[in-house]
Amino acid sequence: MTGPVICVVGAGTAGLEALLAAREELGPDAELRLIAPERDFRYRPMSHDSLFRPAQERSLAIADVVAEAGATWVADRAEVVRQAERTVLTRDGDTVDFDFLLLAPGVRSKRALSQGYIWQRGGDPGFLDQIISDIRTGDARSVAVVVPRGVRWPVPAYELALVLAWAVRPTPAQVTLITAEEQPLGALGSAATEAVVRELDAAGIKVIVGVEVVDEPRRDGEPEHGGDPHALAGVMLVAEEPGEPDALIGKPTDPATVRMGAGASAQFDRMISLPTVVGPFIAGVRTDAIGFVEVDETLKVCGSERVWAAGGCVAAALEHSALGARQADTAMAAIAAATGTGSASSSGPVELTGMILTGQRDRWAAENPAGTHEPSTRCLWWPPGRAVGRMLAKRIAAWDPSVQDALPRHPEGLVLRVPIALGCSGAAPAGPIDEVSADVKSARLLDIEHRQLMAVRRREQAAEAELRDLSARLRFLTDRQHEAVRELQQHGYLHDHL
Ligand SMILES: Cc1cc2nc3c(=O)[nH]c(=O)nc-3n(C[C@H](O)[C@H](O)[C@H](O)COP(=O)(O)OP(=O)(O)OC[C@H]3O[C@@H](n4cnc5c(N)ncnc54)[C@H](O)[C@@H]3O)c2cc1C
């Protein structure tokens, strides 16, 4: 291949869409490389016969997408981007060259509260059944659903609150939604706020906005877990690395006693919160204070000439799979234009498009009658998808015969087109690497060196063990040979001079 070398980091919706779009945009001569640690892309298509319930989770082998795109794959994590050298250093110490780079490594989920249950994308939703059952039997009378500060896709909390309220009526239990947002779903615009407030109101949900729920401090002033999320193992659901399967590590604490910002403390019989997120902290590119990659309106990384970013890793107020896929397409079109093989002129600013479903309570109740195991929580945002993207959805539909690449129906609701503000912060110094990422960079380089050293030592030890094994086998063979020679001589087949 004689074309440019395009490297994509991450194999989520944005990364895979970018890889497929790269081949389409750049033609057969481009050399495509993917850096991603996982083997499978997991997705849940919508059911044909339900507006709310996704079908069973499926998985797509990343190797198949890589083959389809005619790319090569480094099964590892990107750690450091060396822009001057045009290389990416991976966690295991490999160096991957690029002419143009697209970063799509998603986010890292962090727990904000030590108590209650965490609602995670792809997590086990089993505890919802238990909470609904506890409310029905009167063991729980109050449930809080919490949106912590920093959440960039808060819709699942609203869906959970609605589903809880719908599922437990006519019990007198109080469902309360507490959000750090200034307005419910404020990032989606005032029409979305009005629509969701009407839905919450109709369901009898108490809403508290602009409040950050924090752990009730112990008497010594420290929060229960001392502010260290790692100290929480044994209490809750945690996913430290993006893409890692979530795990129920221990029994959550019921009830939950929390503080409403600087205000009074409150107790809830059950509490569910969304995880908060931080950026991927890729060293060597411009990031904000919590590790999200700063990009301009064209999704080019601030201060970079050859690096673009798309999806959850981008510093923005909102994230969503469909948005990430569109960003990937736009970024790849811009990369193609930069290589001289395409034109980015057709792509305008990327918007999030979708619908807020309204007035769906009866329909949802008909599909999820009382006692339904794991009632569907996809009741507010449509389409729910993760198997999205101009290229990726088509490929999935081509490989998976049970999936259609067209939306089955258009339900009633509020259609939204939400512009996403992007831009470079004025505070950041000129040049591709700021001070924070320079620190991170040197720490990671040290870490990589240590791991490489340990890998060399492991190989040395393995080689020594193999040598010992070979010597033992050689001794054994030599003994057997002497034995055979002796026997042959005894039977007169061999003479001493042989
Ligand atoms: C609780 C919750 C619920 C959500 N629900 C929905 C929903 O219903 N619908 C929806 O559309 N969106 C939802 N979102 C948002 C959605 O998950 C993200 O917007 C979307 O997954 C972003 O896609 P991505 O490809 O950027 O990142 P991801 O899907 O996270 O993929 C990133 C990939 O990069 C890999 N990776 C990570 N670090 C590195 C590295 N250093 N080097 C190489 N590879 C790396 C990861 O292993 C992963 O495979 C939800 C988010 C949360 C927190």
Residues at CB less than 6 angstroms from ligand 1:
9-15, 35-38, 77-78, 104-106, 119-121, 153, 156, 242-243, 274-275, 280, 311-313, 319-322, 324, 384-386
Q: What's the pLDDT tens digit per position in 304-340?
A: 999 999 999 999 999 999 999 999 999 999 999 999 8
Burial-class residue 372 by CB neighbours within 10 Å (0-12, 13-18, 19+): middle
- Measured in Å, residue 257 CA sits from the centre of ligand 1 at 31
pLDDT of residue 226: 40
For residue range 458-468, list pLDDT tens digits in order: 778 888 888 99
Q: For 179-200, write each residue's pLDDT tens digit.
A: 999 999 999 999 999 999 999 9
User: What's the pLDDT at 56?
Assistant: 79
Kindly state the average pLDDT of the residues 230-249.
35
- 335 backbone dihedrals φ, ψ, rounded to 5°: -65, -45
The per-residue pLDDT of the chain, averaged, comes to 85
pLDDT of residue 49: 73
Parse the chain into domains and list their residue ranges. Answer: 5-107+279-433, 109-277
Instruction: Ligand 1, residue 243: give the atom nearest the CA.
Output: 47
CA nearest to 121, candidates 102, 103, 106, 142: 106
- Residue appearing with tokens 């407030």: 197
Distance 315 CA to ligand 1 centre (A): 14
Please report, for residues 31, 43, 77, 307, 345, the alpha-carbon distance to residue 84 in angstroms, rounded to integers and kept in the order given.
Answer: 20, 37, 20, 11, 28
Task: Provide the pLDDT for residue 246.
Answer: 38
**3-state DSSP of 187-240:** HHCHHHHHHHHHHHHHCCCEEECCCCEEECCCCCCCCCCCCCHHHHCCCCEECC
User: What is the distance in A from the centroid of ligand 1 to the CA of 398?
Assistant: 23
Taking the centre of ligand 1 as the mean of its atom positions, its distance from the CA of residue 313, in whole angstroms, is 8
pLDDT in tens, 33-48: 999 999 999 988 777 7
Q: What is the position in ligand 1's atom list of the atom closest to the CA of 90?
A: 42
pLDDT tens-digit profile of 469-481? 999 999 999 999 9
Contact 33, 3 (CB under 8 A): no
- CA 243 / ligand 1 centre spacing (Å): 7
Alpha carbon of 244 to ligand 1 centroid (Å): 10
349 phi and psi angles, rounded to 5 deg: -65, 140
Asked if the peptide bond before residue 255 counts as cis, ω within 30 degrees of 0, the response is yes
β-sheet bridge partners, residue 177: 145, 207
- Which pLDDT score, from 0 to 100, does residue 51 have? 77
The ligand 1 atom at the shortest distance from the C-alpha of residue 107 is 30
What's the pLDDT score for residue 251? 53
Q: What pLDDT does residue 241 have?
A: 39
Fold entry, domain 109-277: FAD/NAD(P)-binding domain (3.50.50)
Is pLDDT at 247 greater than 50 in this prediction?
Answer: no
pLDDT above 90 for 159: yes
Instruction: Give 441's pLDDT tier (boundaries 50, 70, 90).
Output: low
Structure tokens at 149: 């500060």
- The residue contributing the CA closest to ligand 1 atom 20 is 321
CA of 319 to the centre of ligand 1 (A): 9
Beta strands in 286-379 (DSSP E): 307-309, 351-357
Please say if the pLDDT value at position 227 is more than 70.
no
Q: Give me the pLDDT at residue 243, please.
A: 39
Min mean pLDDT across 104-108, 260-264, 442-446 is at 442-446
User: Residues 205-223: pLDDT tens digits?
Assistant: 999 999 999 987 655 544 4
What's the longest Cα–Cα distance across the chain?
Answer: 105
Report the pLDDT value the prediction gives residue 300, as an integer from 0 to 100: 97
Pick the CATH number of 5-107+279-433 from 3.30.530.20, 1.10.10.370, 3.30.1180.10, 3.50.50.60: 3.50.50.60
Taking Cα atoms as reference points, which of 346, 305, 355 lies closest to residue 326? Answer: 346
pLDDT of residue 428: 52
Shared fold status for 5-107+279-433 and 109-277: yes
- Judged by average pLDDT, the poorest of 17-26, 36-45, 227-236 is 227-236
Cis before residue 245, ω within 30 degrees of 0?
Answer: no
Nearest CA to ligand 1 atom 36: 105
CB half-sphere exposure, 297, CA atoms < 13 A? 6
The answer to whether residues 131 and 160 touch, using CB atoms and an 8 Å cutoff, is: no
pLDDT at 277 over 50: yes
Please give the number of the atom of ligand 1 that sits closest to the Cα of 91: 41
For 86-102, what is the mean pLDDT? 95
Percent of the chain with pLDDT over 90: 60
Lookup result for tokens 């301009």: 296
